[in-house]
Amino acid sequence: MSELFGPTNAVFHDPALFTAEQRLLRSSWTCVGTTFDLPAPDTRFVHEDAQRSLIVARDGAGTLRAFVNACTHRGTRLCQGRGAGRMQCPYHGWVFGTDGRLLGASKRAGFKTLEEAELGLKPAAAVQLGKLIFVHDDPRQTEADLRAFLGAEAEQIAAISERAQRPLLECRMPLRGNWKLAVSGAIEDYHVAFVHKQTLQKGRSSRPEDYVLRPNGHAVFSTAAPLGWKKPLLRWLGGIEPLEQFESHFVFPNLLVIQIVGVIHVTRFVPVAPGESLRVSQLYDISPRRGWWNPLEWLRWAIMPLARHGLHKVFREDREVLEEAQVGTGVAPDQLRGPAHMEEARVEHFLAEVARQVNVAPRPLPTANDA
């Protein structure tokens, strides 16, 4: 079998490889959001990537569920964005509950037979880990399967996400670049001193021992982040002990969970097309909400616009260099990818795992004789 994922820049442009990667994502656990996206029973949101659309919901009893976002009558997409309560198909008016059941069909008397119990939405697996929500296209998958896939990452990202107390901001940024380039730029520090020289200044210095490469493509970068004179100020402002450890957890294939100072940062890179992706970044405060009358609460919200502006500037800097990389690799698709710096260890680990999975020859389907 010829390799789809080779050593050249073509891997960021090849449509056949992109299709294979989407099969990879559909057969992997992927994070689609957090519990803050489903604030109450009977709420829902839609997750979409290049080749699938899923409804993620809490039903009336609060149970987490996921379904293919397609009416079981003619396959029409049921809903978009966020919502609450019943879902009605825009084509023929079939109505479904957040538990996936078909609740009603318009002009029901016109059907010779209509078995509502057999026409519920097609389920997918949905599991909450900490405050992160993961889905898998195979509804038979369980939390035990997710934990087996994540390994040591499971407990660590669960604990980090549990510290999130309230949303600060969400940024959805379309990128004119391949999803692997977007992921790569987010999991290495080699570029920081050049791309972010005004916003992040010198950035963080790292050592080889700061990187831990784990099975299944997962990887961690962790280093001390002493606050010095700022620590008592942040303690007073946040009402909690600020973190003095920077941790960046990459969860294959496209999730980044970061904790630093008083913030939890969750980012997903969603494939859209070979040369397009979407960055979804959500930031959460680890300090509890105080009453509106508390002067510290007013002070925090007074400085938030500055923080948002700075963060969006960093994201725009990343987007600019990503899009230049997409153009450059397209001009030289047959050029070999260059050597990796020590600070790019997680990038090489990530790309090697994508290559390992998409270059594996497909296994034959089981037959009756295999039983």
pLDDT tens-digit profile of 32-57?
999 999 999 999 999 999 989 999 99
Q: In whole angstroms, how far apart are CA 79 and each of 41, 69, 280, 294, 353?
A: 17, 7, 20, 40, 34
When pLDDT is cut at 50, 70 and 90, the band that residue 246 belongs to is confident
Q: Calculate the average pLDDT of the chain.
A: 88
Phi, psi at 271, each rounded to 5°: -65, 140
pLDDT at res. 310:
75
Domain boundaries, the chain: 30-140, 163-358
How does residue 299 score in pLDDT terms, banded at 50, 70 and 90?
low
Q: Classify domain 30-140 by CATH architecture.
A: 3-layer Sandwich (2.102)
CA 188 centroid distance within chain: 17
Q: In CATH terms, are 30-140 and 163-358 the same topology? A: no
Residue that the structure tokens 């369980």 belong to: 142
- Distance separating alpha carbons of residues 44 and 268, to the nearest angstrom: 19
Q: Write down the pTM of the prediction.
A: 0.89
Would the pLDDT of 281 be above 90?
yes
3-class DSSP string for the chain: CCCCCCCEHHHHCCHHHHHHHHHHHHCCCEEEEEHHHCCCCCEEEEEEECCEEEEEEECCCCCEEEEECCCCCCCCCCCCCEEECCEECCCCCCEECCCCCEEECCCHHHCCCCCHHHCCCCEEEEEEECCEEEEECCCCCCHHHHHHHHCCHHHHHHHHHHCCCEEEEEEEEEECCCHHHHHHHHCCCCCHHHHCCCCCCCCCCCCHHHEEECHHHCEEEEEECCCCCHHHHHHHHHCCCCEEEEEEEEECCCEEEEEEECEEEEEEEEEEECCEEEEEEEEEECCCCCCCCCHHHHHHHHHHHHHHHHHHHHHHHHHHHHHHHHHHHHHCCCCECCCCCHHHHHHHHHHHHHHHHHCCCCCCCCCHHHC
Q: Letter for the amino acid at 23?
A: R
Contact 80, 142 (CB under 8 A): no
What's the pLDDT band for 368 if we cut at 50, 70, 90?
very low
pLDDT at 223: 81
**Regarding predicted confidence, which is higher, 289 or 101?**
101
Q: Name the least confident of 15-24, 57-66, 224-233.
A: 224-233
Cβ burial of 266 (10 Å; 0-12, 13-18, 19+) is buried
Q: Are 187 and 346 in contact (CB under 8 A)?
A: yes
Is residue 189's pLDDT more than 50? yes
- What residues form DSSP beta bridges with 257? 249, 266
Work out the percent of the chain whose per-residue pLDDT is above 90. 68
For the segment(s) 163-358, the CATH number from 3.10.129.10, 3.90.380.10, 3.50.90.10, 1.10.3720.10 is: 3.90.380.10
For the residues 112-139, what does the mean pLDDT come to? Answer: 96
